[in-house]
Chains A and B, each alone.
Chain A
Amino acid sequence: DAKTTQPNSMESNEEEPVHLPCNHSTISGTDYIHWYRQLPSQGPEYVIHGLTSNVNNRMASLAIAEDRKSSTLILHRATLRDAAVYYCMTSYDKVIFGPGTSLSVIP
């Protein structure tokens, strides 16, 4: 069975970088890797996605391992507004979400 794993929770100090890992060992060659985050009582919000190469946008960076079996979401300077549950997801033929990492940001 396809499985995606993430740490249950992580903590970061405000204004420090945060590296959120995700293992997607059964990813197929056509699967995209997405990251979303969710605040309480809201739908998930898009953060970033990629296929093979590392990606940067105004919110974050996505580092994809060479074998694509893992990826890391990088928040360059965590703010209090970044406290949320972060989900990685792979998609093409099968859409698989990880269990999510609850990120706490300490002022």
Chain B
Amino acid sequence: KAGVTQTPRYLIKTRGQQVTLSCSPISGHRSVSWYQQTPGQGLQFLFEYFSETQRNKGNFPGRFSGRQFSNSRSEMNVSTLELGDSALYLCASSQWDRGYTEAFFGQGTRLTVV
């Protein structure tokens, strides 16, 4: 079956702009989580959605937001981009939330803010 698909794969934005990233989970998976990966901070949890409800949130400012649609596809949005937002953004899908079941990661979206 198809894996987790993230679009776009690469993105270059200017400081102050906003960006929307998309994640299509594995069919049948109801949970989607988002992560930021940087060389300095490693993997950091952004938020998790399950059946269109945000179930869990990491320690990121309100500029980072997300949503999940009825078909389980998810988007995350970053407003007023800063240079420090340059990172690999990963999403993962799983059948259940809160770590009950294994997560499958996409290949990520590489965001560069200039």
How many residues from B make CB contacts under 8 Å with A?
22
Interface size on A, residues (CB 8 A): 24
> CB-nearest residue of chain B relative to A96?
B45
Contacts A87-B43, A95-B33, A100-B42; A46 near B103 (Cβ below 8 A): yes
A-B interface pairs (CB < 8 A), number: 57
Residues of A within 8 A of B99 (CB): 31-32, 34, 49, 89-92, 95
Asked if residues B45 and A43 are in contact (CB atoms below 8 Å), the reply is: no
Chain B interface main SS type: strand
* Min distance, Cβ B43 to any Cβ of chain A, angstroms: 4
- Interface with A: B11-19, B62-70, B73-81, B105-113, which one? B105-113
Query: Roughly how many angstroms separate A87 CA and B44 CA in the complex, as a whole number?
Result: 12
A residues apposed to B, CB below 8 Å? 31-32, 34, 36, 41-46, 49, 87, 89-100
Bound CA span A6–B38, Å:
17
